[in-house]
Amino acid sequence: ETGVTQTPRHLVMGMTNKKSLKCEQHLGHNAMYWYKQSAKKPLELMFVYNFKEQTENNSVPSRFSPECPNSSHLFLHLHTLQPEDSALYLCASSQDWAANTGELFFGEGSRLTVL
Amino acid sequence: EDKVVQSPLSLVVHEGDTVTLNCSYEVTNFRSLLWYKQEKKAPTFLFMLTSSGIEKKSGRLSSILDKKELSSILNITATQTGDSAIYLCALQTGANNLFFGTGTRLTVIP
């Protein structure tokens, strides 16, 4: 138990569906992240939020839409995805982005399959 | 372009063996190098290294950074089956981005 909870753990969706991934952290951290982990590829940073403000958007396609209503919650809204978007989506948090020591606390991930 | 390369890609050893995992990097603005362990899904933090030649140690795990060689090693002594995991190396750059390598998959056989 890392203090970062992701739901759902598994998601299968068609290319025309709209779904959302949810992340919640109970650590009192101020920065939250979405990472994508595909088979045999490095973890790819997608988005960073610091104090609810988006500070990084790593050239992610617009079919992925993040939302951070407060410092404890982070969403990833998905629509019209492609099969190549199938991956493990990991949420992470850290105390503060600007003073980031590099120690991220990861959730267990949401395994997404796009048919 | 910032790059992190880990070797070997995978490794199978017997319990009790000692293993050395390698991480080499190219980065324009180095801030720190980190090691993570990923057993099932969630990577967990092991070490953060910022200075060359200073060993970080935690139980049977240790790690050291060589800024001249742009590399780091992670050593695990007296391996146990619970050490089976993917070990991820990551570079933190001045822009506060964290670049991960593809990882080394370690399998420890009883």
Residues of chain B positioned with their CB less than 8 A from the CB of A98: 96
Question: pLDDT at position A58, please?
Answer: 73
What are the pLDDT digits (tens) for B70-110? 999 999 999 999 999 999 999 988 656 788 999 999 999 99
Are A103 and B34 an interchain contact pair (Cβ–Cβ within 8 Å)? yes
Closest residue of chain A to B6, computed from CA coordinates = A42
Are B100 and A42 an interchain contact pair (Cβ–Cβ within 8 Å)? yes
DSSP string for B32-52: EEEEEEESSSSEEEEEEE-ST
Are B99 and A42 an interchain contact pair (Cβ–Cβ within 8 Å)? yes
Question: pLDDT at position A99, please?
Answer: 59
Residues of chain B positioned with their CB less than 8 A from the CB of A106: 41-44
What are the pLDDT digits (tens) for A32-63? 999 999 988 899 999 988 877 777 777 899 99
Question: pLDDT at position B95, please?
Answer: 59
Provide the shortest C-alpha distance from residue A77 to chain B (in Å): 21
Question: pLDDT at position B92, please?
Answer: 87
Provide the shortest C-alpha distance from residue A18 to chain B (in Å): 24
B59 — alpha (psi -120 to 50), left (phi > 0) or beta? Answer: left
Which of A48, A56, A106 shows the shortest C-beta gap to B42? A106
Which of B98, B101, B103 shows the shortest C-beta gap to A45? B98
Low-confidence residues in chain A, pLDDT < 50: none
Rg (CA), chain B: 13
